Structure formats: structure tokens, C-alpha cells
């Protein structure tokens, strides 16, 4: 089923435990996370420091580490956690239904 | 003791990180950051890539903006050079004749591009052209990018990372590019041959010409173009010459001040020099690495510059911890990403793991099957595995080398919990 304002992003099983995948929609790119506790989150896809895809980085606990400069964010809140990143990452509402993941990006 | 507090000489990545870290560790006294360039601290990695490739000239990518420095009470002295250190009186002299006293001093003086020998061996004509480009500073990148016009013939001397990144950027701008390398292959230092040959093939498919094993015997200028002559009698005409033939640590101030120098300013595992109140960090220093049996190394890499700057700040405030971060660097050329964690030459065997379209990983192990380095080449998807390998290297775990070759073995599973 479709929801007003929500975009179908991926399936729950597309993401491994404690990992992240990239999701592109129109001109934009997002990162969708699955925590070690099987909770799902969504953020902007690019690091706020330089334009590198966070989905190529490593998920460690609640943190995502940028693959290029090792800046870190808490992907559950978007908070910047380690230099060189200092600007927070935008997060997006996400919901799961029957194994599907939807995000609201507006 | 003095009211001048902490002084950092060198306002690059290392110096800027150290200054910010001193403040965040709670140092409330003065922090003075002294840099020779006219710019506030900026990032150097884009200089060989975005800075050369983008249509409009980018501004320096600031690490510490003037307003951030003000807010953190970091006194930023731009276009300023320290010319002497009086270690006994804890005093430095600046090029304007003034002096400052310090409680602790950090030397973050970096490195300078190695210059072509002039005159060349066997020649008596000095190389005096300003048109041989080197790449280290924002100013260098600005003057080089002006030369990278479509159709221009660019010769890159040196098949190392800087030279190859410049070659890729010059191709992106539509230049004709030839890379001259004296060694038998590109990337002789620090990268296994299998990776070097993949990089070589990528450059060739992009239209870069290579002249490997080529000794330059002379150069001349007609006023319109340059002619490079080789010892085998060949010659090559071009419009612009860029040399990327290594870097030399900036140690003059340290050695003139009586500090020990050994392939860089010699520091101990805390990054203290032979004077206990003076520290050195980044490209300018050599340090013993605990993960490699205390082997003394010097690194020229962005990550090390950042991490040692941060570490040195702690040491300046009295922390006893050894710097033990796993060395790591990357290079981007075209759509290829190359990453190396650890020191490949510390290994005796190499295990290859194919990631299919994502790329290739090479694990470098000791005879005891301890992972000492991992190299990867391919798309950005290799980054996760190299990061995990870096953590495994740090753990000093002994591994099953056959299992490493299997792509379905998750590297995360090898991390000690």
C-alpha cells in the first residue's frame, strides 16, 4: 500500500544487521540504516563535510563513520560526533510495514 | 612558565587539529597558531583533485575559519614564520623580529616537495624555469590549474600518488598527459604490484601515456615549448612540466635548535622531541610505531596529520599515551578509489580477495598470520572492508589466511568482541 508523502525505499532484508545502504530518489540521495538491535533509521546520504556517500562507511553501534575522513554521526539523531564533521546530518521519519521500509523526505 | 601558553608552529591539518584539541581538552591559557601561508588552515587533499578539475576555481576548504579561531580563542598568525627556537628560555623568534615565549611547543611544520636536481646529473645548465610546477599549497594548485587547458601537453615527472592524481585531473580537463617514472613501475612505494598494474591500466584506458624506467638526461626550452631528453636518446616536447617526486620533511628549525632529527624530527611514542617541552607531529616527524615492533616511520597522509595533531595536544597537556593509530591513506583517480591500511611491507605473504565489480582486496600477513596491512582498489564500496581490516590490524589478531580469501567470510566476524 502507499502512504501520502511516504516513499518506498527498500525491504527490511536488503540491509544487513548493523549496516547501511544507499537509496537514491529523484535528485537526492539517502542512507538507510539497520542497527544491531534491528531498528531502522534514515538520514541524508552525503556527509555534511564533503560530498561522500555515507552508505560506503562503517556502522558502529549508533554511529556511521564517513568512508573518507572518518567523521562520525549518530545516525539515530543526526548529531555530529567526531571531527572533521561539525554540522549535523538531517534525519528522516521512517516506518516499516510487512517487511517494507518507507521514508518521508519532505 | 610563561603567559604565552601553547605555541604551534605550522598551521596545516596537524597544527589546526592540535589547536582545536588543546581547547577541547580544557586548556584555558593562550594558544598561538603560526602559519607561513596567507590563508587560514585548509585541507590539502582537494588540491590535486577538485581544485584542479572544477571549472570554477574553488576556494580553500577551511579547517579552522577565522571566526572559529576567534571563538575558541586561538590566536592565528598568518603569513608569519618562526625563525629560531631558544629552547633554554622557551622562546621563539618570528620573522618580524618579535618573540614569543611558550610553555609547550608543537612543531607541525609539514613537508616540502622534493625539487628536481638542478643542474641535472651530467648537465651543467641549471634548471631555472619557474614553469616546473610542484604541488603542495593552495597557491601551487592555483598556478597549476591555469595551465591545465584542453589540448595542452602536460608532462608529469614521478609516478607516485601526487603525480597520478594530477595526471587524472589533467585528463579530466582535456589535456594530453605523459607520466615519466624512473622506476620500473608506478607506485613503487607502499602499494603491491597487483594494485599498481590496475591503476596503470586505468590511466592507459583514460589516454595517459607512460614512460617507465626512463632517466631524464636534459631539458631545454625554446621559449614556446619544453623539450625533455632521455638517456636512451628519445625526446618529448610539452607545454607544462609538473614534478611529484616525493616530499622532504621540514626539519630546519628543529635541527638548528639542537633537536634530534632522523628522517624527520625524531619523536618518541608520545610525540615528544628530544626536548621534553617540544613536540612534533604530522609529515615533519618520525616516530616509533608500537604495532610494528617500534619501527621508526614517517607518514605523509591526511589521516595521520589529523590524528597526530590531536594526539600531540594530549601529550602537550601531560598525557602518557603512545600514538598507535594504524596508518591509513587513500587516493582517488578517475572513478577508482585506492585505500591502504597498515604497512604492506611489514608482511611476508599476500592474500587476495575479489569483491567482484566492487573491487579487490589484498591482505598482507606476517609469517605468523598476523594482519599487518590491507590494500584495496575499486569503487567506494571497498572502504568498509578496509576500515574493518584496519581495526583487525589494530587488534593484532592471528587469522586464518585461507578464510580471508573467501568473500563470504565477513570481516566484522574477525573483530575481537
- Partner B contacted by A69 (CB < 8 A): yes
The Cα–Cα gap between B155 and B147 comes to 11
CATH fold match for the domains B6-112+248-316 and B132-245: yes
How does residue B127 score in pLDDT terms, banded at 50, 70 and 90?
A: low
User: A67–B380: do the CB atoms touch at under 8 Å?
Assistant: yes
pLDDT at B370: 96
Which helix H or strand E contains B143, and what residues bound it?
helix B138-147
Total Cβ atoms within 10 A of residue B26:
7
What is the reported pLDDT for B329? 95
pLDDT (tens digit per residue) in B138-183: 999 999 999 999 999 999 999 999 999 999 999 999 999 999 999 9
**Closest of B303, B250, B247, B235 to residue B280, by C-alpha:** B250
What is this model's ipTM? 0.86
Evaluate whether residue A79 is within a structural domain.
Answer: yes
- How far is residue B167 from each of residues B155, B194, B197, B199, B204, measured CA to CA in Å? 8, 20, 16, 12, 11
Q: How far is CA B120 from CA B154, B186, B216, B231, B297, in A?
A: 20, 22, 8, 12, 30
Q: What's the pLDDT at B223?
A: 78
**Architecture of the B132-245 domain:** 3-Layer(bba) Sandwich (3.50)
Distance CA A51, CA B362 (A): 27
What is the C-alpha to C-alpha distance for residues B167 and B15, in angstroms, rounded to an integer?
Answer: 29
Enumerate the residues of chain B whose CB falls inside 8 A of the CB of residue A70. Answer: 303
What is the secondary structure of A39-93 as a DSSP string?
Answer: -EEEEESB-SSSS-BGGGSEEETTEEE-TTT--EEETTT--EEETT--SPPPEE-
Q: Are the C-beta atoms of residues A36 and A17 closer than 8 Å to each other?
A: yes
| CATH entry, B6-112+248-316, from 3.30.230.30, 3.40.50.300, 3.50.50.60, 3.40.50.2000 | 3.50.50.60
Q: What is the DSSP letter of B244?
A: -
Contacts of B366 (CB under 8 A, 6+ apart): B346, B347, B348, B372
Residue A1 included in any domain: no
Number of folded domains that form chain A: 1
List, for residues B303-314, the tens digit of each pLDDT value: 999 999 999 999
Inform me whether the pLDDT recorded for A75 exceeds 50.
yes
Distance separating alpha carbons of residues B334 and B200, to the nearest angstrom: 12
Q: What is the pLDDT of residues A33-52, one digit of tens each?
A: 999 999 999 999 999 998 89
Cis peptide before A84 (omega within 30 of 0): yes
The domain that holds A24 is classified in CATH as: 2.102.10.10
Contact B361, B374 (CB under 8 A): yes
Most distant pair of Cα atoms in chain B: their distance: 66
Chain B residues inside the 8 Å CB shell of A18: 412
Q: How far is B231 from chain A (nearest CA, A)?
A: 41
* pLDDT at residue number B1: 43
Confidence of residue B268 (pLDDT cuts 50, 70, 90): very high
Q: Is A70 on the interface with B (CB under 8 A)?
A: yes
With 0-12 / 13-18 / 19 or more C-beta atoms within 10 angstroms meaning exposed / middle / buried, residue B224 is: exposed
Residue B253, pLDDT > 60, answer yes
Edge to edge, the sheet with strand A7-11 lists: A7-11, A100-103, A94-97
The domain limits of chain B are: 6-112+248-316, 132-245, 335-414
Expressed as residue numbers, the domain containing A88 is 7-100
B335-414: CATH class: alpha beta
B228 and B155 in contact (C-beta within 8 Å)?
Answer: yes
Compute the distance between CA of residue B312 and CA of residue B38 in angstroms, rounded to an integer: 24
Does a structural domain hold residue A105? no
| Distance of alpha carbon B173 from alpha carbon B157, whole angstroms | 18
CB contact under 8 A, B387 and A68: no
Give the Cα separation of B45 and B25 in Å (integer). 27
Per-residue pLDDT at B267 exceeds 90: yes
* Contact indicator for B347, B366 with CB cutoff of 8 Å: yes
User: Which of A57, A68, A83 is closest, CB to CB, to B384?
Assistant: A57
**Is residue B3 over pLDDT 70?**
no
From A70, which residue of chain B is nearest by alpha-carbon distance? Answer: B303
Classify residue A106: in a domain, yes or no.
no
Amino acid at each position: 500500500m502507499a502512504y501520502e508523502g511516504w516513499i518506498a525505499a527498500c525491504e527490511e532484508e536488503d540491509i544487513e544487521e548493523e549496516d547501511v545502504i544507499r537509496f537514491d530518489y529523484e535528485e537526492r540521495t539517502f542512507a538507510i540504516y539497520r542497527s544491531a538491535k534491528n531498528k531502522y533509521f534514515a538520514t541524508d546520504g552525503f556527509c555534511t563535510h564533503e560530498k561522500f556517500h555515507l552508505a560506503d562507511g562503517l556502522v558502529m553501534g549508533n554511529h556511521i563513520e564517513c568512508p573518507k575522513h572518518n567523521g562520525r554521526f549518530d545516525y539515530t539523531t543526526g548529531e555530529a560526533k567526531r571531527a572533521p564533521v561539525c554540522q549535523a546530518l538531517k534525519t528522516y521519519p521512517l516506518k516499516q510495514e510487512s517487511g517494507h521500509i518507507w521514508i518521508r523526505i519532505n | 612558565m610563561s603567559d604565552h601558553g601553547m605555541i604551534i608552529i605550522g598551521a596545516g591539518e596537524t597544527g589546526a587539529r592540535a589547536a582545536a584539541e588543546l581547547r577541547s581538552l580544557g586548556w584555558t591559557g593562550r594558544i598561538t597558531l603560526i602559519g607561513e601561508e596567507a590563508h587560514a588552515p585548509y585541507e590539502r587533499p582537494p588540491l590535486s583533485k577538485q581544485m584542479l578539475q572544477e571549472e570554477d576555481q574553488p576556494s580553500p576548504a577551511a579547517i579552522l575559519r577565522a571566526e572559529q579561531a576567534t571563538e575558541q580563542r586561538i590566536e592565528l598568525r598568518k603569513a608569519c614564520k618562526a625563525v629560531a627556537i631558544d629552547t633554554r628560555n622557551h622562546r621563539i623568534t618570528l620573522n618580524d623580529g618579535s618573540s614569543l615565549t611558550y610553555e609547550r611547543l608543537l612543531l607541525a611544520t609539514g613537508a616540502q616537495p622534493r625539487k628536481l636536481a638542478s643542474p641535472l646529473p651530467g648537465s651543467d645548465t641549471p634548471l631555472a624555469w619557474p614553469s616546473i610546477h610542484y604541488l603542495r599549497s593552495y597557491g601551487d594548485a592555483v598556478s597549476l590549474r591555469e595551465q591545465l587547458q584542453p589540448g595542452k601537453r602536460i608532462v608529469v615527472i614521478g609516478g607516485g600518488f601526487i603525480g597520478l592524481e594530477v595526471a587524472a585531473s589533467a585528463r579530466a580537463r582535456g589535456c594530453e598527459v605523459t607520466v615519466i617514472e624512473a622506476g620500473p613501475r608506478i607506485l613503487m612505494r607502499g602499494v603491491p604490484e597487483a594494485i599498481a598494474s590496475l591503476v596503470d591500466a586505468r590511466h592507459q584506458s583514460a589516454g595517459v601515456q607512460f614512460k617507465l624506467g626512463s632517466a631524464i638526461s636534459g631539458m631545454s626550452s625554446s621559449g614556446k615549448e619544453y623539450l625533455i631528453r632521455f638517456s636512451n636518446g628519445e625526446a618529448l616536447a610539452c607545454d607544462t612540466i609538473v614534478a611529484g617526486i616525493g616530499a622532504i620533511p621540514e626539519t630546519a628549525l628543529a635541527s638548528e635548535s639542537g633537536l634530534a632529527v632522523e628522517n624527520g624530527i625524531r619523536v618518541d611514542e608520545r610525540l615528544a622531541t628530544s626536548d621534553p617541552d617540544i613536540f612534533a607531529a604530522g609529515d615533519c616527524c618520525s616516530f616509533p610505531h608500537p604495532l610494528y615492533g617500534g619501527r621508526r616511520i614517517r607518514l605523509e597522509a591526511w589521516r595521520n596529520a589529523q590524528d597526530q595533531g590531536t594526539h600531540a595536544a594530549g601529550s602537550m597537556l601531560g598525557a602518557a599515551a603512545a600514538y598507535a593509530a594504524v596508518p591509513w591513506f587513500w587516493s582517488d583517480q578517475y572513478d577508482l578509489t585506492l585505500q591502504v591500511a597498515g604497512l604492506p611491507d611489514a608482511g611476508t605473504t599476500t592474500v587476495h580477495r575479489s569483491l567482484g565489480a566492487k573491487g579487490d582486496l589484498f591482505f598482507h600477513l606476517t609469517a605468523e598470520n598476523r594482519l599487518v596491512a590491507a590494500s584495496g582498489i575499486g569503487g567506494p564500496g571497498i572502504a568498509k572492508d578496509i576500515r574493518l581490516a584496519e581495526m583487525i590490524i589494530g587488534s593484532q589478531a592471528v587469522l586464518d589466511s585461507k578464510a580471508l580469501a573467501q568473500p563470504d567470510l565477513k570481516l566484522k566476524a574477525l573483530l575481537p568482541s
